[in-house]
Structure 1
């Protein structure tokens, strides 16, 4: 049986707790929108699938990589998508349930804490870190060491731009994971979670294309929502 990378093993208990919380928040929607009768069975199926997903999560540098957090927060939704798809739930319905569940989970965090995280994300210090990690991500040495990682450029705004900074993802760790395990159909559901993830922290995300949608890159553009100015 495949093993969980030691880095993710140290975070396993917290990730499993987050999954159980998501399923609690999703339960009413699962009953109303999926027309499945054995919701308790579905919950167990999801947790069993999540145990499999944990063994599939690629190691991209652990705490030294900002992308590790993305995998730890979002790959659980692949488990939910896989199970619901096997039960015949339409992919758009799965996406709606996941996005509403994720937003509800994010909103359990106190607003002050969420907005503080948003300020930190937009800070000059964090932008400097992202520039540094973006520059490293495109090197052959990094891609050879972490072939499943994201590859991206940091985007500075031009004179006519309204965003504060951007990220162009030229290769996506979730796309690689989905391609390897037959999850391409459910991949756009993962992409859809980004907007609420940033909005609940006081950040406006603008994005007009994704790798999952067939584009050459994902064009993330970030600015502060008015309430955080």
Structure 2
């Protein structure tokens, strides 16, 4: 019996697949020179086939009503890349470099004005209010029962002497849950590494000293605006 993709992700499937193909094009030189792979077209097809599997595994956490749905749609495709490259004997460190640099290149394809506007919106008081609201919702028993594979997090306001604008403490991570369920714990840290380039592309400085994937009690995200060039 064929695995089923949740209808929410099915409605975004074409866009996610196109983003994956673009990412693989950007990674092609690195796949040749750093991963020492030759039949790149076959590798690309293997990744797209694996991504079809990831799509059936992708947890539904509320669709457009939950900001974390976008995180799953943007980043879980890297699980497919990691799985395929590991099968071909590529080291975790090289996989991490390829994923991080190809993701950065993909983000920088977006016009700078759009990227920085998205960053300004993320840092805005209005979005901080939304983050507070969704953080509180994520911790409720009803939400955790409805979406057990979702993230659970707290909004963190700066205290005296702090040099960040606001923070998020992730007490449970959807990617960690996914990795534990599907045997991806080994490649999980590479997903964590993508956060820094994602925020920097939008003009945001992320400071993080620990992660759940690394064995900590929570991931401590702290956000501030990058200085203008």
Which bracket does the TM-score occupy, shorter chain normalised?
A: over 0.9
Q: Deviations over 1:114-156 (max 9, x none)?
A: 0000000000000000000000001110000000000000001
| Whole-angstrom CA distance in 1 between matches of 2:45 and 2:227 | 42
Residue number in structure 1 paired with 2:204 = 203
Pairs aligned (count): 228
1:136 equivalenced with 2:133 (yes/no): no
Aligned to 1:227, the other structure's residue is in SS state coil
Residue number in structure 1 paired with 2:94 = 93
| Whole-angstrom CA distance in 1 between matches of 2:60 and 2:129 | 23
Cα deviation for residue 27 of structure 1 reads: 0.2
Q: How does 1:137-156 map to 2 (within 5 A)?
A: 137-156=138-157
Q: TM-score when scaled to structure 2?
A: 0.99
1:183 equivalenced with 2:184 (yes/no): yes
Q: Deviations over 1:181-204 (max 9, x none)?
A: 000000000000000000010000
Runs ≥4 residues deviating over 4 A: none
Residue number in structure 2 paired with 1:109 = 110
Cα deviation for residue 77 of structure 1 reads: 0.4
Aligned to 1:219, the other structure's residue is in SS state strand
Cα deviation for residue 226 of structure 1 reads: 1.1
Unpaired stretches in structure 1, ≥5 consecutive residues: none
Aligned to 2:221, the other structure's residue is in SS state strand
Q: TM-score when scaled to structure 1?
A: 0.99
| Whole-angstrom CA distance in 1 between matches of 2:70 and 2:91 | 28
